[in-house]
Amino acid sequence: MADPSPVLGLRGLVRRYGEGPRAVRVLDGVDLDVRPGETVAIMGASGCGKSTLLHLAAGMDRPDAGEVRIAGVEVHGRPEPARTRERARRVGLVFQDFNLIESLTARENVELAVWLSGAAVAADRIDALAGELGIGELLERRPDQLSGGQQQRVAIARALIHGPAVLLADEPTGSLDRVAGEQVLDVLFDAARARDCALVLVTHSDQAAARCDRVLALRDGRLVPA
């Protein structure tokens, strides 16, 4: 049987910072295919461009050259409003620092992601996902009333609630202690696997990377086997 089409396809991605002879080419022709349900770790030195790569893959930033396809749809050829909608519908994002809105409850943070995707908010769907992630009793609390691990679980719920094709996680345990970090990784991998959702994980942790189907390193602007 032929391999399924990639849910995330990167072709020849180039990203430069600066102008003229001082320009730095952080990404220099990055290619990557990620299949449904596949887990891929991306490692590399600090400042090598891992977060830049995820931002391009999510449609949050534009490459200087190259192409990003999510579920077969080219992302960067579209105007910003369409790009934002496409990202909200097809991509789940998990950040190191949670990026929750402090004035909103956990439930409202998750509801906001649904609203941005253009879908209707289904309270029972949020309740079911929160229960699966172990935060069912915490939905009416604000972020400052939650531990770091609990906040990251809310962020994972926000990333998953609209049924994305691919989940992009940028150092999701970087702000957590070892125990909380391992628990969050368990939740993240189990939830992605249950949905056959692809997962791309940027990490410095060898232990986290070892959970993935593939481990790649970003070196000299390109992805290579780690």
Give the chain's domains with CATH numbers. Answer: 35-61+84-225 (3.40.50.300)
Q: Can you give the pLDDT of all 226 residues of the chain as single tens digits?
A: 557 899 999 999 999 998 888 888 999 999 999 999 999 999 999 999 999 999 999 988 999 999 999 988 888 877 777 777 777 788 999 999 999 999 999 999 999 888 877 677 678 999 999 999 999 999 999 999 999 999 999 999 999 998 999 999 999 999 999 999 999 999 999 999 999 999 999 999 999 999 999 999 999 999 999 9
**CA–CA dist 205, 145 (Å, integer):** 28
- SS3 annotation, the chain: CCCCCCCEEEEEEEEEECCHHHCEEEEEEEEEEECCCCEEEEECCCCCCHHHHHHHHCCCCCCCEEEEEECCEECCCCCHHHHHHHHHHHEEEECCCCCCCCCCCHHHHHHHHHHHCCCCCCHHHHHHHHHHCCCCCCCCCCHHHCCHHHHHHHHHHHHHCCCCCEEEEECCCCCCCHHHHHHHHHHHHHHHHHCCCEEEEECCCHHHHCCCCEEEEEECCEEEEC
Edge-to-edge strand list for the sheet holding 39-43 = 91-94, 166-170, 198-202, 39-43, 214-219, 222-225
Q: In the beta sheet, which residues pair with residue 14?
A: 28, 65
Q: How many residues does the chain have?
A: 226
Q: What is the pLDDT of residue 87?
A: 78
Burial of 171 (0-12, 13-18, 19+ CB in 10 A): buried
Using alpha carbons, list the distances in angstroms from residue 174 to 94, 117, 171, 182: 11, 27, 5, 11
Q: What six digits make up the tokens of 101?
A: 């809105």
Q: What is the pLDDT of residue 139?
A: 97
Phi, psi of 10, rounded to the nearest 5 degrees: -115, 130
pTM over 0.85: yes
